[in-house]
C-alpha cells in the first residue's frame, strides 16, 4: 500500500545514498556515489509536497518541473518522469551529478526541514532511463535545409546542437579538443562525472545527425571565414581564461610548480581514458600541494591531488568561512551561503579561510617551495553588498608547497582568435567580460552570430550552460524560420506560433 | 433637490434589480363585499411596513398596492358626474390606466386605447379621473407621478364574462403594442395596472399609510370589495417606478424568479407556436407575451395571465409555473406525478423563492415555491374571513376568540379560497382535480421516450486522429488529467482546492484560453438564497425533456412527445441511442462544428453562420434532435469552441422562433469540467456528451494513473461527479431543476465583445468589452497549431496548464516565487528597498498580466509635499484582515493577525467559528488577541450573546469570494477539542455551514438580521459582506436601505481554506467591477454617504489601495498577503490539514512550525500605507477621505501590444458618479437604525433591579407583530453590565420573567441569555429564539383561541436557528426549519414543518406531533425525539446522517423532564396525556440519533458519563 501522497514529508526523513568510503574511493578515479534501494528512492520522492508554488523550479535555471517528476516517481512511472525531465533538460545525467542544486536550497520543505533530494532523484531517473534503453536518438522527421555551426561543445554547445538538430537544422559542431564535451569531458574529474556518461550522450547526438568536428579550432586550424557559409553560428566557447596572480604584484607567482587548475585537471582525465598527455605532466604525487580557491574547481583539484597521492594538501580561500546555517539577510528561498563540504573535501586536506597569498618562495631552482600568507579581517557588507578586507598584523604564515594549483575562477572567453576576427563586441559581466548579447535573441553584435553559455554570461554552472544552449537554439530557430516549436523554459511557446492574421506571431 | 435620471453609462444594469416584500390578502370566504375588507387590506399593509424599504426620500417608499373587486357602488354613482352610466356588475370592465402627464401625449394614448376597444368590438362607456391627493406622497414619487384614469368598457352581449375578460386582455395588449410603436413623446409613462370586469388594482409609489390618503376611492365608504390583495415592496433597485409597484393584474409576489432569462427566452421562442381556439386570430395581438424590460414578477404575471386567459384555471396555471418538487417525492401518488411530468414537457418551472398571492376575482389563493423560502401565514375566522400574509397578526383588532384555524403555506402547496363556492379548497383536493383532468400517465407512456440508463457501454466511435493530438486541439493540460479528471473518476467527487485564484483573467492571459474561461457563474446573495443540493436534494432535479414542445395553450396527448433524460450528461451509448432514434417526433441530425484550419480565423465566422443555417435546415427536413458535433478534428479541421457553437445555434433558433421545435445535443471533445457543462446547458444545450473526456479516462486508466474499483466505474464516477457539480452550480443561484436552469444564462462574461455576446450569448452582461470572434478563432487555431506544428521539434506533450497552481511554463500567477519571497523578506527584515521591489513586481506585472486594475493608471494631479498627506498611522486604521476562521487556520496564525491589527488600530476578523472569550482580555505584554470584527455566517457557530457584545463590528457573510453561494463543511476529524469549544459543538462531530443563512431568503430578511444584530450590540457596526457580480450594486443599495453600516465587496479571487475548484475559478467577478458598480449605484441613489464601503480580494500594494479608494472604497481588506507575511507559501493544500508552515493546520506537530510575528504584519501594513501616501501626494490628496470615489483621477491605459487586452474598454468602469447636493462620495453620515421605538427600552426600564442588583423581576407587556427582536437589547445590556460569559458566569434562571400578551414580531427572543425568560401568550412569527444564548422562551396559545395546538401553527419559520443554549417550550406547531443548526437548546414543540432539525449539532428537540419532510437533513449532533404514534415518521426523515432508534435509559429521563417542563410552562394537553400514560406512551417515541454523534458519545462515555438533564 502506497502512503498518502500528501503526507510523505511527514513520514520520511531525507536520506542520501552512502558514498563509497573515502579510503576506498581514493584508490581509484571511478565514480563512487551509489544508489538507494529502489523503494527508498521512491520514499524520497514522496517527500516532495507538490507545492502550490514550487519554488524549486524557479530555483532551477532550466525550470526543471521538479514536482511533476517527483509525482511520477511516486506513481512509479519512471519513463514518463524521464520524459518530463528531458522536456526541460537535455542532459539530466550530467546535472544529476555535478549540479550544486540551487533547487534544493529553494525547496519549500527546506524552510523548516531538510530539503527534498531533488538532485539525486534526477540522477536516478536519468540513469534508469539509460539503463532501460529509454533514451534513444530522436532523429528529426524532416530537415529544414538550414545549416548551423556551433563553436564549442561544452554543455551549452551540446544542448544547443541537440535542440537545433531536432528542429531540423543541419548542425556542425567545432571542438578544438580531441573529444567533444568541453569542461564536461576534461574539466570535471572522472570520479565526479564518468566520461562514458558524456561519450554516451555525445553518441546520441551523433546518431541524431549532429556532425562533430574535433581538433578543429576556429581561427587557428579552421579559417574563421568558414563560419560564413552557415545560416547561423552559435559561439559556445565558454569562459576559459583562468584568473591568475598576473598583474597582482604577488612576488614569485611565475615560478614553476604554479599552475592554473585547468592545466592540471584535464591531464588526469586523459590518463584515465588511456590517452597520452602530450605536454609537460603535472602530478601531485608525493608533493605538498596548495590549492588556491575554495570553489568547485578547487575541490576538483583537491580530489585529484589526493588520488595522485600528494604528501599534504591545503586549500586556501580568500573569503571567510561561511556560517553553518542561513543568516537573516540570506533567507529562504535564496541560494544559501552556508558552509558546504564537497565530496573531495571529505576525502582529506585542510581548508583555510580568509587567507591572502602574499608571495611565493623559490627553491632556488625556479620551482615554488612555499607560499607566504596573511589572515584577513572582513568588514560587514556595505550598501552594495561589498565587504572591505584588512590584513591582520602578526598572522603571517609560511606554508611549504611544491605544487600550487590556482582555482580562482575564470575571467572571460578566449577572444584573441576568431572572436577578434569577427570583431564582436564584449561587455562586462560579474567576473570579467563576455561576448555581448541579450537573453532574448542571444545574437551578438554581428548578424547571424549568436553566443550562449559562459562565453556570454561569464563562468557559471552547468545548468546555466544547458539553459542558455536551449534558449539560444530556440532563438536561432526563430531567427531562421520565423517560428519555433522548441521548448522554452518559461513558456509553452504559444507566442512563437505564426498563424495567419495572428497578432502574436513574430 | 432636482429630478435625477439614473445614468446608464456606468455599470448599473436595471435587469439585475430585485425586489422582495410583504404580501397579504384578506377576503370574505363567500365573497361578500364590504368596505371593511378594503380597510383591513390597507391595515395589513401598514402593519407590514417594516418589510418594505425607503430610498433617499423617506416618504416615497418602494411602492405598494391593493387589488380589489370592482367597487361597483362607488363607480356607479361617481361616473354619473363624468356623463355616463354603468350597467350591472359583470356587464362592464374597468381599466386602471397610468397616463402621461403631458396633455398631448395623454390624449394620444387615450385615443389609441379607445380605438383598440372599438377594434375589439366593445363599447367605450367613458373615462373617469381617479381622485387623488398628490400631497400625500413623497417628493420623489410626485416627480414621477402619472395621471391616473379609469376607462369603462361595456361587455358586448355575445361574450360571456370569461370571454369578455379575454377580449379585454387582447384590447389591453394591442393598445400597449400600438402605443409602444407610436411616436408619442410621453409613451413610457403609459401603463395599465389592471383591466378586468372583476378586479381592479390601485398601486403606486407610496408608503402603506398613504394609500387611502392618495387614492381617495379607497377611503370612500361606498367602495366595497369581497377581497383585498396587498403588496408592499422592498426594492434593491435604484429609483423605483410606479409601474413596478404590485400587485400586478393577477398576483403579488414576494421573492424572486431566478430562472427568468431562460423563461423569457423560451417563452419568446414558443409564443409563435401557440394555437388557441379561444383566441383565434387575436393571438397575434397579444404577442409579445412578456415584457423583458420589467421585473421578474411582472413577467411572471404576464405568463400567468396568458395561461389563464388561454383557458386554464388560476390554480392549474399556478401549478404549471410553480410545480411541487415531484421527481424525488417518496409518497406522491403516481397520477399527480404524471400531471407534473406531462406539464414539464410544455413549460419549465419558473423557479426561485416565491410566495405568490393571486386572484382572478372569483378565486383567491396563494402558493409557495418548492423550497418554502418565504413565510405565509393565514388565519380563518369564525365570521368566515381569511387573512393571509407574510406575517401572522397583521390585523391587530382580530381577537383570538374569533380565530378558528391558524395555518401556513407549505412548500409547493397551494391555498385557495373559492369565493363563488364560498369555501376553502385544500391542496390535496386541488391536486387531485389536476391529476384527474386527463390520463397523463397513459399519455406519457405512449408518447414520451425514456432514455435508458443501463445501456451497455460499447467501444466508442474510433477516430483516426491519435488521442494526444485531439487532446491538444481541445487544450487539455496535464493539470486537467491530474487535478480534474483523475479525482472525478476515482471518487466521483468534484476536485477541491484552496487559496483562491490569483491567475490572470482569461482576457489578460496571453495564452490561448478555452471560451469557457471568459465566463463567471452568477450566484444568489441576499435577494434569494442558494440551496443546499446535498441536504435538500428533495427539491433538486437534473431531469429534463428534450425535443419538440407541444402547444402551450392546448393540451393533447402528443404534447409529451419528448425524450426524457435523468441527467443532461450523456454517455457514449446514450448518445448512440439518440442518433439511432428514427420515428415520428424523434429524429436526430448531426451538424459538424469543425472548420478548415488553414483558411485562418475568418473561416470560423463563416462556419458559424453555416452551422446555424444547417441546423435550421435539418429542422425543416424533419429532425427534432440537433446534435452539434466536433468529432473528427484533424490536421485539416479545427473545432469551433463548443460553447460558441451551442450559443450561436440556440440564439439563431430562438430568433427564428424555432428553438422549441427541437432538442439541442452537444457531442464535444472540449467539455471536461463541471463549469463547461454548466455553460453548455446554461446557454441552450439539452444534453452533452463529453466523448473525449471519457476516452481520456480510458487512457488514464490504461496507463494506471488511477485504479478503477469496478470495470466501468471510471465513467460512472466521472459522470456522477459532473452531475453533483451541476447541481451545485444550479443551487448556487437558487435554481432547483435542470429544466429551468437550461438556457437561463446565469453567467457574466468578462472580456468578450458585444458582437459575440449579441450573436451567441444574447442578454449576458459583458461590461468591459474584449476580444471578438477573430481572437476566439485564433485561440482555437493556436491549440490546433500546437497539435500540428509545421515542423515538429519534439515529442508531442500536453501543456502544463498552471491554472490551479503556479507552474513555470504555465499561467501567470500574481503570487509567484518572486513576489512571495520579496514580500516575506521585506517584512521580516523591515526592509523598505525589498518592499519597493515587491510592489514594483506586483504593480508592474499587474499592468501587463493579472487583474483589471493593471489596466488603470493615475492621471496627473497637482502634487503636494508628502508631509502634508495624513500619516500612515491614520491610513492603516482603514485596513482589515480577511475572515479566516479559527479551524481553518491555526490558533497561532489567527492570533498573530489579531495582535497585529489591534496594534495598528485596524481590524481583524474572527471568520466563521466563534472566538475563545479568553481572547477578549489583554495578555501580559499588553497585546489584545480579540478580533474586532465578529463574523456572523450561515452556520452561526459560536454566535452567542457574549460573542456579539464583544465586537466592534458584526459582519454578516452573505457570500465568500472563493465560493459564493456555497456552504462549508468541517469534517469531524478536524473538530478538535478547542475548536469544538468555541463553536459550541462536540469534538469529532462534523459541522456543516449551510449555503444560505436560513434567516435570509430575501432582502427584507437581511434587514431583519441587521436589526437583530444592532439590537444585540447597539455599540457595534453591522456590515454585510457581498461578492462582486453583475447586479451587486443594486444589492448594495438594498443593503444600505436595510440600514447596514458597512458593505464589503469581495473580489472573486479571494482565498479559501477549501472550495471546489469550479467555484474558485469560475464564481464571482473582479472587485474592480463590483466596487465600481456599488459605488455608482449608491451615489446615484443618494445612499452612499450613509454607509461605509469596503473592498477586498487579492489586495497587495499601496497602488491597489489607491485604486480601490478612487473607485469608491472607504476601507480595505487583506487576507492572502498578511498570511504570506506570516509565513504562508501558497502550498494550496489548506483543505488537507498538511500545511507545512503551521498556518492552515490543526496538527500539533505542524503548528509548531509556525514562524509568523505580529511585527512583520505591522511592517507590511505600514509599507502599504506609505506607498499609498506617495501616490496621494502625487495626486494631491491630503486625506483618504478626499480621495474616495474620485474615479476621475484614473484613466484607462490599454495595452496596445497585448493581443487580447487591447480590445477592452473601461469607459463604464470609469464613469464618474456625481454626488447629490448636500451629500458626499464617501461615508459621512450614520444610519438611522430605528431602535428608538424598540419595546426593549421599556423592558430595560422595568428590569432596572435585575440590571443593577441582579434582583428578580417580572414584567408584563402587550405585544404586536411590529414589535421585533424582543428581549435582545435587554439581554445584551445584562451581559455587558454583569460581564457575563463562557468563563465569567451567568445569571440565575428566570431572573427576568417577561409575560408578553399578543402576537410577537420577527426574531422574538433572539440571542437572549440565561436569566431572561420570555413567556408569550398568543403566537409569534419567524425566527423565534434565533441564536438563543441560554434564555428561556415559552409560547402558548391564548386561552381564548379554540383550536387544537397540534393542528395550528403558533410560531413561524426558522425558530431557534443557531441556538447555542437555553430552552423553548412551544405549545403549537412551528413552521419550516425548526431548530435548524441548533447546537445547544433543549426544546419541546407540538409539530414542525419541513426540514426540521436540519444541520443540528447539539441540544435536544422533542416533537409531539407531525413533522414535515426532510427532517434531520445534515444533522450531525444532538438528539431529536419524535412522538410517532402513526409510525409514518421514517418516511419523512432524511436518513443521510442519522439512525432511528427507540428510547433508552438516558433518553427516557431526558425526555420525561422535558415533557414535565413543557406541561409546567405551557399546560400542554398532549404532554399531559403522554405523561399520564408514560409507560406505554414512551414506546411511541422515535429517537433520531446522528451517527457521528452516537460514535462520539460512546467514546466520551468511556471517559465520563453523559449529562442527562435539561439545564
| Contact between residue A299 and residue A342 where contact means Cβ atoms under 8 Å apart | yes
| pLDDT bracket for residue B1506 (50, 70, 90) | very low
pLDDT tens-digit readout, B278-333: 998 899 999 899 987 788 899 999 999 999 999 999 999 999 999 998 887 878 99
DSSP state at residue B220: -
pLDDT tens-digit readout, A199-214: 999 999 999 999 999 9
pLDDT at B1199: 84
pLDDT tens-digit readout, A152-163: 999 999 999 999
A110-129: average pLDDT: 97
| pLDDT bracket for residue B461 (50, 70, 90) | low
Q: How far is C-alpha B462 from the chain's CA centre?
A: 44
Q: Dihedrals φ, ψ of B1350, to 5°?
A: -65, -10
- pLDDT above 70 for A192: yes
- pLDDT above 90 for B1218: no
Q: Which of A71, A141, A331 sits opposite B792 (nearest CB)?
A: A141
pLDDT at A4: 85
Q: How far is C-alpha B183 from the chain's CA centre?
A: 40
pLDDT at B335: 94
pLDDT tens-digit readout, A168-184: 999 999 999 999 999 99
Pick among A80, A492, A495 to test the B interface (most B CBs inside 10 A): A492
Separation between Cα atoms, residue B1140 and residue B1138, nearest integer Å: 6
Cα atoms in the 13 Å half-sphere on the side-chain side of B987: 8
Distances B1433 to A211, B325, B1107, B1349 between C-alpha atoms, Å = 85, 20, 58, 19
Question: Is the bond preceding A333 in cis, omega lying within 30 degrees of 0?
Answer: yes
Catalytically active residues of B are 21
Q: Which of B704, B790, B793 sits opposite A166 (nearest CB)?
A: B793
Q: Which three cell numbers stand for residue B513?
A: 484560453
Residues of A in Cβ contact (< 8 Å) with B705: 75
Task: State the greatest distance between any 2 C-alpha atoms of chain A, in Å, as a whole number.
Answer: 78
Pairing of strands B1373-1374, B1353-1355: parallel
pLDDT at B1320: 97
H-helix or E-strand containing B1335? Answer: strand B1333-1340
A57 — contact with chain B (CB < 8 Å)?
yes
- pLDDT above 50 for A503: no
Nearest Cα neighbor of B1452 from B1431, B1425, B1476, B1432 is B1425
> In the block, which residue shows the cell 573535501?
A345
Separation between Cα atoms, residue B203 and residue B1117, nearest integer Å: 43
Percent of chain B with pLDDT over 70: 97
- pLDDT above 90 for A370: yes
Amino acid at each position: 500500500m502506497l502512503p498518502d501522497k500528501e503526507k510523505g514529508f511527514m513520514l520520511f526523513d531525507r536520506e542520501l545514498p552512502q558514498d563509497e568510503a573515502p579510503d576506498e574511493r581514493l584508490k581509484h578515479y571511478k565514480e563512487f556515489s551509489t544508489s538507494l534501494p529502489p523503494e527508498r528512492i521512491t520514499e524520497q520522492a514522496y517527500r516532495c509536497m507538490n507545492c502550490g508554488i514550487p519554488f524549486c523550479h524557479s530555483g532551477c535555471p532550466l525550470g526543471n518541473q521538479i514536482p511533476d517528476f517527483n509525482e511520477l516517481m511516486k506513481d512509479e512511472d519512471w519513463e514518463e518522469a524521464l520524459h518530463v525531465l528531458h522536456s526541460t533538460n537535455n542532459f539530466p545525467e550530467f546535472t544529476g551529478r555535478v549540479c550544486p542544486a540551487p533547487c534544493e536550497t529553494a525547496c519549500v520543505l527546506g524552510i523548516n526541514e531538510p530539503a527534498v533530494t531533488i538532485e539525486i532523484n534526477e540522477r536516478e531517473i536519468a540513469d534508469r532511463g539509460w539503463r532501460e534503453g529509454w533514451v534513444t536518438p530522436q532523429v528529426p522527421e524532416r530537415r529544414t535545409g538550414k545549416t548551423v555551426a556551433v563553436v564549442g561543445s561544452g554543455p551549452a554547445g551540446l544542448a544547443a546542437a541537440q535542440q537545433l538538430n531536432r528542429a531540423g537544422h543541419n548542425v556542425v559542431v567545432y571542438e578544438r579538443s580531441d573529444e567533444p564535451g568541453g569542461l564536461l569531458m576534461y574539466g570535471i574529474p572522472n570520479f565526479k562525472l564518468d566520461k562514458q556518461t558524456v561519450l554516451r550522450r555525445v553518441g546520441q547526438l551523433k546518431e541524431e545527425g549532429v556532425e562533430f568536428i574535433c581538433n578543429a579550432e576556429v581561427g587557428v586550424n579552421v579559417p574563421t571565414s568558414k563560419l560564413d557559409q552557415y545560416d547561423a553560428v552559435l559561439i559556445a566557447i565558454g569562459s576559459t581564461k583562468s584568473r591568475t596572480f598576473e598583474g597582482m604584484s604577488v612576488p614569485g607567482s611565475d615560478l614553476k610548480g604554479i599552475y592554473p587548475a585547468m592545466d592540471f585537471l584535464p591531464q588526469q582525465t586523459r590518463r584515465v581514458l588511456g590517452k597520452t598527455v602530450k605536454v609537460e605532466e603535472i602530478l601531485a604525487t608525493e608533493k605538498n600541494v596548495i590549492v588556491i580557491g575554495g570553489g568547485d574547481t578547487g575541490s576538483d583539484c583537491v580530489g585529484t591531488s589526493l588520488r595522485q597521492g600528494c604528501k599534504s594538501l591545503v586549500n586556501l580561500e580568500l573569503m571567510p568561512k561561511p556560517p553553518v546555517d542561513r543568516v537573516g539577510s540570506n533567507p529562504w528561498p535564496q541560494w544559501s551561503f552556508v558552509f558546504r563540504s564537497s565530496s573531495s573535501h571529505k576525502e582529506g586536506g585542510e581548508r583555510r579561510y580568509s587567507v591572502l597569498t602574499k608571495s611565493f618562495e623559490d627553491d632556488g631552482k625556479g620551482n615554488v617551495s612555499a607560499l607566504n600568507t596573511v589572515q584577513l579581517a572582513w568588514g560587514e557588507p556595505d550598501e552594495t553588498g561589498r565587504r572591505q578586507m584588512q590584513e591582520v598584523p602578526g598572522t603571517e604564515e609560511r606554508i611549504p608547497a611544491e605544487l600550487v594549483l590556482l582555482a580562482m575562477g575564470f575571467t572571460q572567453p578566449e577572444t584573441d582568435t576568431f572572436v577578434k576576427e569577427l570583431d564582436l563586441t564584449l561587455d562586462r559581466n560579474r567576473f570579467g567580460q563576455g561576448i555581448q548579447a541579450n537573453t532574448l535573441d542571444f545574437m551578438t553584435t554581428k548578424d547571424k552570430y549568436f553566443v550562449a553559455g559562459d562565453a556570454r554570461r561569464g563562468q557559471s554552472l552547468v545548468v546555466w550552460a544547458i539553459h542558455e544552449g536551449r534558449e539560444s537554439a530556440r532563438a536561432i530557430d526563430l531567427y531562421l524560420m520565423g517560428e519555433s516549436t522548441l521548448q522554452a523554459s518559461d513558456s509553452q511557446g504559444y507566442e512563437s506560433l505564426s498563424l495567419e492574421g495572428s497578432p502574436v506571431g513574430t | 433637490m432636482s429630478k435625477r435620471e439614473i445614468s446608464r453609462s456606468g455599470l448599473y444594469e436595471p435587469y439585475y434589480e430585485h425586489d422582495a416584500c410583504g404580501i397579504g390578502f384578506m377576503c370574505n370566504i363567500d365573497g361578500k363585499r364590504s368596505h371593511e375588507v378594503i380597510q383591513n387590506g390597507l391595515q395589513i399593509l401598514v402593519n407590514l411596513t417594516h418589510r418594505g424599504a425607503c430610498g433617499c426620500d423617506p416618504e416615497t417608499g418602494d411602492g405598494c398596492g391593493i387589488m380589489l373587486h370592482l367597487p361597483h357602488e362607488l363607480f356607479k354613482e361617481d361616473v354619473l358626474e363624468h356623463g355616463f352610466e354603468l350597467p350591472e356588475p359583470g356587464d362592464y370592465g374597468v381599466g386602471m390606466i397610468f397616463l402621461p402627464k403631458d396633455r398631448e401625449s395623454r390624449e394620444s394614448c387615450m385615443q389609441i386605447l379607445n380605438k383598440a376597444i372599438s377594434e375589439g368590438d366593445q363599447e367605450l362607456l367613458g373615462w373617469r379621473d381617479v381622485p387623488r391627493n398628490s400631497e400625500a406622497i413623497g417628493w420623489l414619487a410626485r416627480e414621477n407621478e402619472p395621471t391616473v384614469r379609469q376607462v369603462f368598457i361595456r361587455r358586448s352581449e355575445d361574450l360571456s364574462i370569461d370571454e369578455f375578460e379575454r377580449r379585454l386582455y387582447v384590447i389591453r395588449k394591442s393598445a400597449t403594442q400600438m402605443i409602444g410603436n407610436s411616436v408619442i413623446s410621453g409613451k413610457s409613462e403609459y401603463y395599465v395596472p389592471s383591466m378586468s370586469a372583476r378586479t381592479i388594482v390601485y398601486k403606486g409609489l407610496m408608503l402603506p399609510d398613504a394609500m387611502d390618503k392618495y387614492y381617495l376611492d379607497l377611503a370612500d365608504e361606498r367602495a366595497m370589495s369581497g377581497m383585498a390583495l396587498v403588496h408592499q415592496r422592498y426594492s434593491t433597485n435604484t429609483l423605483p417606478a410606479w409601474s413596478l409597484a404590485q400587485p400586478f393584474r393577477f398576483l403579488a409576489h414576494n421573492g424572486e424568479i431566478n430562472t427568468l432569462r431562460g423563461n423569457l427566452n423560451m417563452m419568446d421562442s414558443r409564443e409563435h407556436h401557440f394555437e388557441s381556439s379561444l383566441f383565434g386570430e387575436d393571438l397575434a395581438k397579444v404577442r409579445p407575451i412578456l415584457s423583458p424590460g420589467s421585473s421578474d414578477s411582472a413577467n411572471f404575471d404576464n405568463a400567468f395571465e396568458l395561461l389563464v386567459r388561454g383557458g386554464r384555471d388560476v390554480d392549474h396555471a399556478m401549478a404549471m409555473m410553480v410545480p411541487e418538487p415531484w421527481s424525488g417525492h417518496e409518497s406522491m401518488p403516481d397520477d399527480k406525478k404524471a400531471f407534473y411530468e406531462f406539464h414539464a414537457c410544455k413549460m419549465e418551472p419558473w423557479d426561485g423563492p416565491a410566495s405568490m398571492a393571486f386572484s382572478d376575482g372569483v378565486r383567491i389563493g396563494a402558493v409557495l415555491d418548492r423550497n418554502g423560502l418565504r413565510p405565509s401565514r393565514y388565519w380563518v375566522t369564525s365570521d368566515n374571513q381569511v387573512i393571509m400574509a407574510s406575517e401572522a397578526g397583521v390585523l391587530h383588532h382580530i381577537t383570538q376568540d374569533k380565530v378558528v384555524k391558524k395555518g401556513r403555506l407549505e412548500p409547493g402547496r397551494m391555498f385557495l379560497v373559492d369565493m363563488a363556492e364560498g369555501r376553502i379548497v385544500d391542496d390535496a383536493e386541488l391536486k387531485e382535480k389536476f391529476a384527474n383532468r386527463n390520463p397523463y400517465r397513459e399519455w406519457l407512456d405512449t408518447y414520451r421516450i425514456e432514455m435508458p440508463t443501463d445501456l451497455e457501454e460499447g467501444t466508442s466511435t474510433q477516430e483516426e486522429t491519435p488521442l494526444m493530438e485531439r487532446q491538444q486541439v481541445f487544450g487539455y493540460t496535464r493539470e486537467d488529467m491530474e487535478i480534474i479528471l483523475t479525482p472525478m473518476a476515482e471518487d466521483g467527487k468534484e476536485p477541491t482546492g484552496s487559496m483562491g485564484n490569483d491567475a490572470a483573467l482569461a482576457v489578460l492571459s496571453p495564452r490561448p484560453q478555452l471560451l469557457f474561461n471568459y465566463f463567471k457563474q452568477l450566484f444568489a446573495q441576499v435577494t434569494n438564497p442558494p440551496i443546499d443540493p446535498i441536504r435538500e436534494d428533495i427539491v433538486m432535479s437534473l431531469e429534463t425533456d428534450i425535443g419538440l414542445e407541444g402547444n402551450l395553450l392546448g393540451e393533447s396527448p402528443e404534447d409529451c412527445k419528448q425524450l426524457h433524460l435523468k441527467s443532461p450528461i450523456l454517455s457514449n451509448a446514450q448518445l448512440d441511442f439518440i442518433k439511432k432514434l428514427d420515428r415520428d417526433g424523434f429524429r436526430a441530425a448531426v451538424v459538424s462544428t469543425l472548420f478548415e484550419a488553414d483558411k485562418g480565423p475568418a473561416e470560423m465566422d463563416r462556419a458559424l453562420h453555416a452551422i446555424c443555417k444547417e441546423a435550421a435546415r435539418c429542422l425543416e427536413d424533419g429532425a427534432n434532435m440537433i446534435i452539434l458535433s466536433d468529432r473528427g478534428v484533424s490536421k485539416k479541421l479545427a473545432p469551433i469552441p463548443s460553447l460558441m457553437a451551442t450559443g450561436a445555434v440556440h440564439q439563431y433558433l430562438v430568433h427564428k422562433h424555432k428553438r422549441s421545435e427541437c432538442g439541442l445535443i452537444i457531442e464535444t471533445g472540449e467539455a471536461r469540467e463541471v463549469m463547461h457543462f454548466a455553460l453548455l446547458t446554461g446557454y441552450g444545450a439539452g444534453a452533452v456528451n463529453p466523448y473525449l473526456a471519457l476516452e481520456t479516462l480510458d487512457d488514464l486508466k490504461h496507463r494506471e494513473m488511477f485504479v478503477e474499483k469496478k470495470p466501468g466505474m471510471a465513467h460512472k464516477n466521472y459522470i456522477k461527479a459532473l452531475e453533483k457539480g451541476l447541481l451545485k452550480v444550479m443551487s448556487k443561484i437558487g435554481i432547483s431543476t435542470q429544466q429551468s436552469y437550461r438556457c437561463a444564462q446565469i453567467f457574466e462574461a468578462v472580456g468578450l465583445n458585444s458582437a459575440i455576446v449579441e450573436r451567441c450569448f444574447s442578454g449576458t452582461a459583458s461590461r468591459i468589452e474584449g476580444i471578438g470572434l477573430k481572437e476566439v478563432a485564433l485561440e482555437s487555431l493556436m491549440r490546433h497549431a500546437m497539435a500540428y506544428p509545421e515542423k515538429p521539434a519534439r515529442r508531442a506533450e500536453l501543456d502544463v496548464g498552471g491554472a490551479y497552481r503556479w507552474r513555470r511554463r504555465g499561467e501567470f500567477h500574481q503570487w509567484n516565487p518572486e513576489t512571495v519571497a520579496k514580500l516575506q523578506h521585506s517584512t521580516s527584515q523591515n526592509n523598505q528597498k525589498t518592499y519597493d521591489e515587491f510592489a514594483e513586481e506586483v504593480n508592474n506585472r499587474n499592468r501587463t498580466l493579472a487583474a483589471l486594475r493593471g489596466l488603470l493608471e493615475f492621471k496627473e494631479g497637482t502634487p503636494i509635499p508628502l508631509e502634508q498627506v495624513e500619516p500612515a498611522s491614520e491610513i492603516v486604521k482603514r485596513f482589515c484582515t480577511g475572515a479566516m476562521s479559527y479551524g481553518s487556520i491555526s490558533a497561532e496564525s489567527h492570533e498573530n493577525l489579531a495582535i497585529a491589527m489591534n496594534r495598528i488600530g485596524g481590524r481583524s476578523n474572527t471568520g466563521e467559528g466563534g472566538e475563545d472569550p479568553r481572547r477578549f482580555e489583554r495578555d501580559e505584554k499588553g497585546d489584545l488577541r480579540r478580533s474586532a470584527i465578529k463574523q456572523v455566517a450561515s452556520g452561526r457557530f459560536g454566535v452567542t450573546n457574549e460573542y456579539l457584545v464583544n465586537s466592534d463590528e458584526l459582519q454578516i457573510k452573505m457570500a465568500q469570494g472563493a465560493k459564493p453561494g456555497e456552504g462549508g463543511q468541517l469534517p469531524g476529524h478536524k473538530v478538535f477539542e478547542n475548536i469544538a469549544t468555541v463553536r459550541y459543538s462536540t469534538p469529532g462531530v462534523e459541522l456543516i455551514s449551510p449555503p444560505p443563512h436560513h434567516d435570509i431568503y430575501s432582502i427584507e430578511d437581511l434587514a431583519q438580521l441587521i436589526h437583530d444584530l444592532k439590537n444585540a450590540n447597539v455599540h457595534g457596526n453591522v456590515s454585510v459582506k457581498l461578492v462582486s457580480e453583475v447586479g451587486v450594486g443594486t444589492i448594495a443599495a438594498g443593503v444600505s436601505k436595510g440600514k447596514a453600516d458597512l458593505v464589503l465587496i469581495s473580489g472573486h479571487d479571494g482565498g479559501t481554506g477549501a472550495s471546489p475548484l469550479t467555484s474558485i475559478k469560475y464564481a464571482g467577478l473582479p472587485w474592480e467591477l463590483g466596487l465600481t458598480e456599488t459605488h455608482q449605484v449608491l451615489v446615484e441613489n443618494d445612499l452612499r454617504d450613509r454607509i461605509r464601503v469596503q473592498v477586498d480580494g487579492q489586495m497587495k500594494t499601496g497602488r491597489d489601495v489607491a485604486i480601490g479608494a478612487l473607485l469608491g472604497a472607504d476601507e480595505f481588506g487583506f487576507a492572502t498577503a498578511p498570511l504570506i507575511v506570516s509565513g504562508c507559501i501558497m502550498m494550496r493544500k489548506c483543505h488537507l490539514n498538511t500545511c507545512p508552515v503551521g498556518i492552515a493546520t490543526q496538527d500539533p506537530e505542524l503548528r509548531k512550525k509556525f514562524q509568523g510575528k505580529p511585527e512583520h504584519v505591522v511592517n507590511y501594513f505600514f509599507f502599504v500605507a506609505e506607498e499609498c501616501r506617495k501616490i496621494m501626494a502625487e495626486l494631491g490628496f491630503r486625506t483618504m477621505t478626499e480621495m474616495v470615489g474620485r474615479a476621475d483621477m484614473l484613466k484607462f491605459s490599454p495595452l496596445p501590444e497585448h493581443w487580447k487586452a487591447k480590445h477592452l474598454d473601461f469607459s463604464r468602469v470609469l464613469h464618474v458618479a456625481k454626488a447629490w447636493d448636500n451629500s458626499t462620495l464617501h461615508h459621512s453620515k450614520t444610519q438611522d437604525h430605528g431602535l428608538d421605538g424598540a419595546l426593549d427600552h421599556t423592558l430595560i426600564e422595568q428590569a432596572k433591579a435585575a440590571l443593577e442588583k441582579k434582583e428578580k423581576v417580572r414584567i408584563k407587556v402587550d405585544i404586536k407583530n411590529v414589535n421585533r427582536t424582543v428581549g435582545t437589547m435587554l439581554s445584551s445590556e445584562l451581559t455587558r453590565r454583569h460581564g457575563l460569559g463562557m468563563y465569567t458566569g451567568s445569571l440565575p434562571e428566570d431572573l427576568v420573567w417577561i409575560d408578553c400578551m399578543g402576537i410577537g414580531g420577527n426574531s422574538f427572543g433572539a440571542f437572549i441569555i440565561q436569566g431572561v425568560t420570555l413567556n408569550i401568550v398568543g403566537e409569534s412569527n419567524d425566527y423565534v429564539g434565533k441564536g438563543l444564548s441560554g434564555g428561556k422562551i415559552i409560547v402558548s396559545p391564548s386561552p381564548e383561541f379554540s383550536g387544537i395546538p397540534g393542528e395550528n401553527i403558533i410560531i413561524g419559520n426558522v425558530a431557534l436557528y443557531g441556538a447555542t443554549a437555553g430552552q423553548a417550550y412551544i405549545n403549537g406547531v412551528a413552521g419550516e426549519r425548526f431548530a435548524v443548526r441548533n447546537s445547544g437548546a433543549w426544546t419541546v414543540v407540538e409539530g414542525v414543518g419541513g426540514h426540521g432539525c436540519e444541520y443540528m449539532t447539539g441540544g435536544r428537540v422533542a416533537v409531539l406531533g407531525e413533522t414535515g419532510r426532510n427532517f434531520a437533513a445534515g444533522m450531525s449532533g444532538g438528539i431529536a425525539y419524535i412522538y410517532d404514534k402513526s409510525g409514518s415518521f421514517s418516511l419523512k426523515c432524511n436518513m443521510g446522517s442519522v439512525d432511528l432508534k427507540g428510547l433508552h435509559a438516558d433518553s427516557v429521563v431526558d425526555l420525561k423532564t422535558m415533557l414535565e417542563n413543557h406541561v409546567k410552562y405551557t399546560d400542554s394537553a398532549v404532554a399531559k396525556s403522554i405523561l399520564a400514560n408514560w409507560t406505554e406512551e414512551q414506546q411511541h417515541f422515535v429517537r433520531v440519533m446522528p451517527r457521528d454523534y452516537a460514535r462520539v458519545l460512546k467514546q466520551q462515555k468511556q471517559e465520563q458519563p453523559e449529562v442527562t438533564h435539561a439545564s
